[in-house]
């Protein structure tokens, strides 16, 4: 049986997401949930960066290209938020690529558009 990666940190993040979902429901666009989560993370004392520019590398050379995850919490958990009817494989593939590119150990896909409850998935970084 494998151990959960960063269980306490991810539990606190998920608690903040559940609180936003409880208060706001599932009818808004992503940018609304982004702002609400920023406020909730601050309220709960969860360390985060909102939409940081993360530089990429190819063959050990830094690219001018970058990607922008919705959040990085605790300096090591990537958060991608969605407001769609359900999570799909392309979202999972994107998160796996983000984890590989950053070498972060954990990613959380959070879907505020799902009803009647918040939809979420944990994705761990694994070696290719």
Q: HSE, CB side, 13 Å, CA atoms: give it for residue 126.
A: 5
* Residue 62 pLDDT: 93
Domains of the chain: 7-124 (3.40.1350)
pLDDT at position 3 is 86
pLDDT at 53 > cutoff 90: yes
Judging by beta carbons within 10 Å of its beta carbon (0-12, 13-18, 19+), is residue 24 exposed, middle or buried? Answer: middle
Mean pLDDT calculated for residue range 43-60: 95
Residue 19 φ/ψ, nearest 5 degrees: -65, -45
Query: Using 50, 70 and 90 to split pLDDT, how confident is the model at 2?
Result: low
**Residue 126 pLDDT greater than 70, yes or no:** yes
Buried b (16+ CB within 10 A) or exposed e, 38-47: eebbeeeebe
Give tens-digit pLDDT for 85-120: 999 999 999 999 999 988 899 999 999 999 999 999
How much is the pTM? 0.93
CB 72 within 8 A of CB 48: yes
User: pLDDT digit string (tens) for 9-41?
Assistant: 999 999 999 999 999 999 999 999 999 999 999
């Amino acid at each position: 049986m494998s151990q959960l990666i960063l269980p306490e940190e991810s539990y606190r993040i998920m608690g903040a997401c559940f609180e936003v979902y409880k208060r706001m429901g599932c009818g808004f666009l992503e940018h609304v949930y982004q702002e609400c989560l920023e406020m909730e993370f601050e309220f709960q004392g969860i360390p985060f960066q909102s939409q940081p520019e993360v530089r990429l590398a190819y063959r050990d050379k830094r690219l001018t290209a970058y990607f922008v995850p919705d959040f990085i919490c605790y300096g090591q958990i990537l958060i991608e938020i969605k407001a769609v009817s359900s999570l799909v494989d392309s979202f999972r593939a994107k998160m796996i690529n983000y984890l590989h590119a950053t070498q972060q150990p954990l990613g959380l896909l959070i879907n505020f558009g799902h009803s009647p409850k918040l939809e979420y998935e944990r994705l761990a970084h694994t070696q290719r």
